[in-house]
Amino acid sequence: MTKPVERIMVYLDGSEGSILAMRLAVVLADFMGAELYALSIVNTRALSDLVQSHIFLEAEREEYRKELFDDGARYLNHAVEMGRKKNIFVKGVNVSGSIAMGIKEKVDELGIDLLVMGPPPRIRSRRDALFDELESAMRTVDCSVFIARNEERIEKLYREL
Amino acid sequence: MSLIELIDKRTVKVPLEARDKQGVLRELVNLLASATDKVSDPEALYRAVLDREALGSTGLSEGIAVPHGKTNAVRNVCLAIGVAPEGIAFDATDGKPSRLFFLIAASADKAGPHIAALADIARLAQSGALIKALVRARDASELIAILQGD
């Protein structure tokens, strides 16, 4: 019988929600015997939008691109370390582009079966909901999506692993 | 971090008292510093925003301006919103007075949330009707309701 979940991916943006999702993913990867990927995306699409709208200067785009790349590398290192502590190998992937498209493309390219995400913020406007990249990814990815909730329980599961 | 998550009624001022560019920046910085505990050094924040403006105005078309700065004088990411219905000369790209101001400041290690909030404003700036509605807001509560309901 084919394993129901062979490859899990977590999108990391440095938020508490994405760290929680990473902890849950480590637990799930161990339980399911699945490979685990951590994805970080340098949001160059947003940087381009800011330059086009004249909010950013070209120099700011480059400055922030480097910072976002460095931040992403730091998140991935943290994720790898979280896995290592529980004897789970985490493959870090750092790409550039739009968040929604980047997640969707990597799900397809890596053959991801399960995407684990942090909980979305509670207070939203209609405009926010429409443009939210994570919600867009959740709606369009070609795999199952798991939303990490209940921090206390997830922390307990991770600790006990 | 979306724009909506950053909105705090205490840091929305309708109308602004200032009548010139430096005055608006100072008023918004002071608002952030007095209403929240996110600003450790208001003068450093004011300087950071002013230095950025010196490189090129953040006054966009349609009467919106997005002064911003990166400085460790603030904790995390913070936002102040102000409305000047009469308009302020802000060296905007279309040469017209600016009426709606979003001042965003972030610490050096918060590039991601800073970009996300600015990107939200960039999208908002594309809606002339929304900007007009925000400028017509009578007070902070009404402005926030318009942003949340949009």
Q: d(Cα A143, Cα A146) in Å, to the nearest integer? A: 10
Residue A37 pairs in a beta bridge with A9, A91
- ipTM of the modeled complex: 0.88
Q: d(Cα A60, Cα A137) in Å, to the nearest integer? A: 27
CATH number at residue B145: 3.40.930.10
Which residue of A lies nearest to B62 if distances are taken between CA atoms?
A53
Note the pLDDT tens digit of each residue in A123-144.
Answer: 555 555 556 778 888 888 999 9
Q: Domain total for chain B?
A: 1
Residues of A with Cβ-Cβ distance to B4 under 8 angstroms? 121, 123-125, 128
Note the pLDDT tens digit of each residue in A83-133.
Answer: 999 999 999 999 999 999 999 999 999 999 999 999 876 655 555 555 677
Note the pLDDT tens digit of each residue in B124-141.
Answer: 888 889 999 999 999 999
Sign of the Cα torsion A54, A56, A61, A67 reads: negative
Q: What is the residue extent of each domain of chain A?
A: 16-160
Residue A146 φ/ψ region, left for φ over 0, alpha for ψ in the -120 to 50 degree band, beta for the rest: beta
Q: Which superfamily does CATH assign the domain made up of A16-160 to?
A: HUPs (3.40.50.620)
Using DSSP, state whether B64 is helix, strand or coil: strand
Residues of A with Cβ-Cβ distance to B55 under 8 angstroms? 57, 59
Q: Which domain holds residue B71?
A: 3-149
Sheet holding A114-117, edge to edge: A90-96, A35-42, A7-11, A114-117, A144-147
Which residue of B lies nearest to A126 if distances are taken between CA atoms?
B150
